[in-house]
Chains A and B, each alone.
Chain A
Amino acid sequence: MVSIELKRDRLLMRWKQQKYEWIIEPRYWRNPILWSLLLLVFPLFISGYPNILTMVTMANLYAAITIPLALQMTGTGRMNFGPQFYLGLGGYTSALLNLHLGFTPFFTLLATILICLIIALLLSPITWIAKGLYFSLITLILPLALLDLTYIFSDLFKGEVGLMGMDPIISLGRVTWNYVAYYYFSVFLMLLFLLVAEKISHSRFGLTMASINENEDVALMMGVNVNKYKVFYYVFPSILTGIIGWFIVHTFRTFAGVTYLPLDFMIKMLIIVMIGGRASVYGMIPGAYFVCFLEEILRSIGTSNYFVFPLVLIITLVILPRGEGLYGLYHKRHPRDYFPVMRVRRE
């Protein structure tokens, strides 16, 4: 069936007539392993401060939401103004199924993936029918339509208060241990999404998608099935975002659409992508941590934080180099790497 061979510097996997190769490069693994160890060891020092732990968990979740978003935006070269649509969809699906039908968290995960897959496939024609700007506008409007829908059927969705009391994923004895467990879950999710996104963008799919971004007609002539790639790059990140919705529901155990669906949340996600550096998926992590820490720090200066927060973000955005953001300060982008020009009005 699947045969695996270890050559001198690569791992070869063969399945039927397909060959996959994983080039083993230990010298490039040192930094990611060190950072991952740091993330994993970190909570043992602060397990006495649950609010910092919650904040870092939230930062991990923000990173996990923006990693598929970056994959989608860098992949398709178009702005997606509504990643939170699938967040809300996944969250409400798991919350409702858990509360009313008693599904356990595992089954709500499967249901979330299924529902997000179906709805993303239903909406995927917009990727090839709607030209550039209209695609972005449709994605802008969808979460607001969902929000309106939850207000309309507010007896089901519980309007602004939201749904409460869903089952947790895991319930250890003490509350602090729960927080630590949730932190490790969020780190695991974030690193998993990072690995998947990075492998996709540096594989033949990423290369082909880059050629579609550059010149769609020529790519079509070179044998690329353009629509298939566009649909994949729309559906797959949407499913990943839906999984985060499921995670939020079963970790924080409350879910209100009004927190995640309106424009404020979307701007935060967009800022994380911009400031973190959209040239590379790794950039989402410093971006998310930066925004979360900034929010915490500014919260202490009182109610004026609501307008100082955008001000600080504006200054940061103007100062940082375009596209490389915070991650670019750590690791300069090689000119060889593909960096798509993001055109909102892309055809």
Chain B
Amino acid sequence: MLSTQQNMLLIMTTIGFSLLVNIIIKVFFILSINKTSKQIPKQYKKFSDWLVWLIIIPFFGSILSLITLYFNLPNAIKRYFPNNKHITSICNSLRRWSLIFALMPVLGFLFLFIIIIVKIINIPIFIYTTIILYTIISFVISFTFIISFCLCWSKVIAVRIMMAMAQEIQDKPELLNQ
């Protein structure tokens, strides 16, 4: 058996390692968003580009990603290509999934607070039902969070390539009349 000190060390190491992995993955995600954001001229954007780096903050990063992924990037792209219905639809879905990506951790914390409050009040039946609900809901939340993160990332990459294609057609309209 491990002593209390060893247990604490193990827990701290696990938390530190998961935070490190979290930050490394987020750096690549942010670089990807930056690459997409660079393709849009400045006059279409309402916020500056460096706000994307707020995503790197642990625990609160995903709610701060609303600034870029919900308000800044999709609206700027829509203003840049107002008549392209494919790009508009993918921007709409990026907005939807980024909202889910931002709200899932908030929901998780909310349920955690509810559980702590119920524990403090200490009514046995309530504890039982809330904990059962929490195990189920926390799994759903983490599952949805990972899926929405992957989908946000894939939409950011897809919109970058679609913008490049639309740009090429705008620059050389004779490609359409070959």
Q: Do A and B truly interact?
A: no
